[in-house]
A and B are shown apart, each in its own frame.
Chain A
Amino acid sequence: MSEHVAARGCITCGDVAIPMLVVEIDRARRLALCQSTRGERESVEIALVEPVQDGEWLLVHAGTALSRAAEPDAAASTAAGKGTGAEREAVA
């Protein structure tokens, strides 16, 4: 692993996952080269989110993509909590 990733702490332990952009896919090995918003590149396990396309954003935790990262719409999802998509997702 890269030292700069180690230096900024253990992102695994904080239930933290980061959005990463798919740069190149190795379909045979089910891995993708992904780039974070900081420009860091990592090999990412994509078995849980296949099929994946170049240019997609994935939510990556400990080297594994857990889900797709949708385009954010902050105004819609945080506008004082009124009629947000979040509320509509409530479990009855």
Chain B
Amino acid sequence: MKFIDEFRDAELGRALAVEILATVEPGRHYKIMEVCGGHTHAIYKYGVDDLLPPNVELVHGPGCPVCVIPMGRVDDGISLAHQPGVIFTCFGDMLRVPGSSQTLLDAKAQGADVRVVYSPLDALRIAKQHPERQVVFFAIGFETTAPSTALTLRRAKAENVQNFSVICSHVTIVPPLRALLESPDLRLDGFIGPGHVATVIGLAPFQFMPDEYGKPVAISGFEPLDLLQSMLMVLRQIADGRAEVENQYARVVPAQGNPRALEVMDEVFAVRPEFEWRGLGFIPESALALSDDYAEWDAELRFAVPGVRVADPQACQCGEVLKGAIKPWECKVFGTACTPERPIGACMVSPEGACAAYYNYGRFAREREVV
């Protein structure tokens, strides 16, 4: 299939695996974090980790926006969905993320009008089709997704669509990376950087990682060969004593990102002073709210939103998983009380969540055998 087969070639994959083996020092242990949930998913779907030497350990980062949304924020969305006359729109994965007492899917079963959309533009279309109803869009995602929301809001403003609003929970990738690098108990040797976030923000925002922390970074694509080549790039930097931001995904990621996307984001959003991340706590300037120019479309101003902080369930160790401190199978409830069918933590809900990736591709069984 065009654009896909070229990056799943088994022979090239084996050649890269041989190069990786030749690059690592046998007695040294390497910890490399793949930041993005899409990478985690691809690594286990294609068995990329099986091609790595045993002394190269992959640590799964906080790059799944569903997984990092705190429970209180889910409750806010559910509360809006229950408001009379509201059509609540969201991306598919949010439906099953547990709030403190129910999910959006439960709310839908109770009669709330909750609809899955593929893009914010779909939500705006629903608003135009139902001028008598209030249509709220639950905006989540990193800088990859934020431009879609921004363009939709610009469109809503230009067309003066008054019955549309957004509960903005967009997050940004650099602040949590800095928080992880500041964490004293997490020693990482390098990073596989998020390819599509970089398509929007470019390479420069990642430069602090080599400059201030001496950590190599390879911005990576999402096919198996992309990931193997990115790992080789990071391991070669370590072997050479270099620390740089390299762009493995140059066929898509321009060094400067997408200036038009950054411009519309700048117009529509303002940086929140702080935002709570599941498992990581409050991180300064790590999320986006609507700017004053777009306050009219801000669901948090239009409706009463509880805005209550809710602690994660005690049994759930999503926080440690998101920080890379434990592997998913080391969580007390992994695969027993917490499964993709009945998730307790958000990491088990999203297909890109580390726990779901481990569970769905048999990592639980294999890790058990090793033990």
Contact = CB atoms under 8 A, between A and B. Distances in A.
Interface of A: 1-2, 5-6, 9-10, 12-17, 19, 37, 42-43, 45, 47-49, 57, 59, 61-64, 66-67, 69-70, 72-75, 77-81, 84-92
Given A37-B1, A48-B260, A12 B199 contact: no
A5 to B, nearest CB: 5
A9 B93 contact: yes
A1 B152 CA distance: 16
B204 A15 contact: no
Contacts of A45: 119, 121, 148, 151-152
B127 to A, nearest CB: 14
What is the size category of the interface that chain B forms with chain A?
35 or more
Closest 10 CB pairs of A and B: A63-B119, A74-B6, A10-B93, A14-B38, A14-B352, A89-B247, A1-B118, A64-B148, A10-B92, A89-B250
Contact of A37 (B4, B94, B142, B197): B4
A74 B35 CA distance: 24
Nearest to A59: B252
25 contacts: A12-B119, A13-B65, A13-B140, A13-B352, A14-B64, A15-B36, A43-B121, A62-B118, A66-B199, A67-B199, A69-B252, A73-B251, A74-B7, A74-B9, A77-B251, A78-B16, A79-B12, A80-B12, A86-B233, A86-B246, A86-B247, A89-B246, A91-B204, A91-B246, A91-B247
Contacts of B117: 1
Contacts of B142: 15
Interface of B: 1-4, 6-7, 9, 12, 15-16, 18-19, 36-39, 41, 63-66, 91-94, 116-122, 140-142, 144-145, 147-148, 151-152, 194-197, 199-200, 203-204, 207, 222, 225-226, 228-229, 232-233, 236, 244-255, 258, 260-261, 264, 350-352
Nearest to A50: B260
A90 B196 contact: no
A67 B121 contact: no
B174 to A, nearest CB: 14
Contacts of B16: 78, 80-81
Contact of A81 (B4, B36, B233): B233
Nearest to B242: A90
B350 A10 contact: yes
B91 A10 contact: yes
Nearest to B204: A91
Nearest to A79: B12
Contacts of B207: 91
Contact of B148 (A15, A61, A73): A61
A48 B63 CA distance: 24
B358 to A, nearest CB: 15
Given A15-B144, A86-B246, 7 more contacts: A6-B92, A13-B141, A16-B222, A66-B196, A70-B252, A74-B225, A91-B245
Contacts, number: 203
B62 to A, nearest CB: 12
Contacts of A66: 144, 147, 196, 199-200, 258, 261
A47 B148 CA distance: 10
Contacts of A77: 229, 250-251
B343 to A, nearest CB: 14
A46 to B, nearest CB: 10
Task: Name which of B66, B195, B229 has the most chain A CB atoms within 10 A of its CB.
Answer: B229
Contacts of B352: 13-16
Nearest to B232: A81
A82 B297 CA distance: 50
B203 A42 contact: no
Contacts of B264: 47-48
B225 A78 contact: yes
Given A12-B91, A15-B63, A91-B245, A63 B251 contact: no
Contact of A63 (B19, B66, B120, B197): B120
A90 B119 contact: no
A34 B19 CA distance: 39
A88 B225 CA distance: 18
Contacts of A12: 91, 93, 118-119, 140-141, 145
